[in-house]
Amino acid sequence: MKLSAELRAFEGRLGHQFARPMLLSQAVTHASMSSANRDDNQRLEFLGDRVLGLVMAEALLALDTGATEGQLAPRFNALVRKETCADVARDIDIGAVLRLGRSEMLSGGRRKQALLGDAIEAVIAAVYLDGGFEAAKALVLRLWGDRITSVEQDARDAKTALQEWAQARGLLPPDYVTVKRTGPDHAPVFTIAAELTTGEKAEATAGSKRNAEQMAAQALLAKLESDT
């Protein structure tokens, strides 16, 4: 099959030319667009998640030969979580080439974190099937780039770190309060406050509650550390 001009341009952004273009076409086809003659990317996403995990595990082991499993695990989780995958997908504008059904398109599917994260994993699988593990590894290392070397030495999520900070001081776990929600249903924006029983708090705004909570926890941690 011949790829559209958009997918040929996307090939260029990936840095991989497909011997089997059908794999790339499938990788960017969401379930809402599948049919009897067109496979969606769910099976590829399943495979790509495993390929990504292997590449990242190998990269982290090579990067820090003295790290323990307890140190490596949170770094690994930070690199393969859906938010990170979605950020990588945005870097190469995968949303522009996603094939979506009408309802998914109208609901802002090209910007949805879950769809973007699944799509980049499907693309990784497509490259793996087309060019083998070394091609997929090269793709992942190139796309993730500095994220791998700059992942925090202790990559526990901010909510966990804040809870541990509170517990170490005999405090109850922090509360997360929705201060405000704005925007349409398909693209909501949340403002969340992270609060301790001692009165300290910080707010953050993001496109999902989870991200807003993480950002608020990080902001509160930074505030607490600057006060000590």
Concerning whether 49 is annotated as a catalytic residue, the answer is: yes
- The C-alpha atoms of residue 54 and residue 102 are separated, in whole angstroms, by 35
Instruction: Work out the mean pLDDT of the chain and round it to a whole number.
Output: 89
Q: What is the 3-state secondary structure (H, E, C) of 95-141?
A: HHHCECCHHHHHCCHHHCHHHHHHHHHHHHHHHHHHHCHHHHHHHHH
Give me the catalytic one of 40, 45, 118, 121: 121
Say whether pLDDT at 152 is over 70.
no
pLDDT of 159-218, one tens digit each?
888 998 999 999 999 999 999 999 887 778 899 999 999 999 999 988 888 878 988 998
Domains of the chain: residue spans and CATH: 5-150 (1.10.1520.10), 158-227 (3.30.160.20)
Q: Which two tokens stand for residue 25?
A: 């076409």
Say whether pLDDT at 154 is over 60.
no
Give me the catalytic one of 49, 104, 118, 213: 49
Concerning whether 121 is annotated as a catalytic residue, the answer is: yes
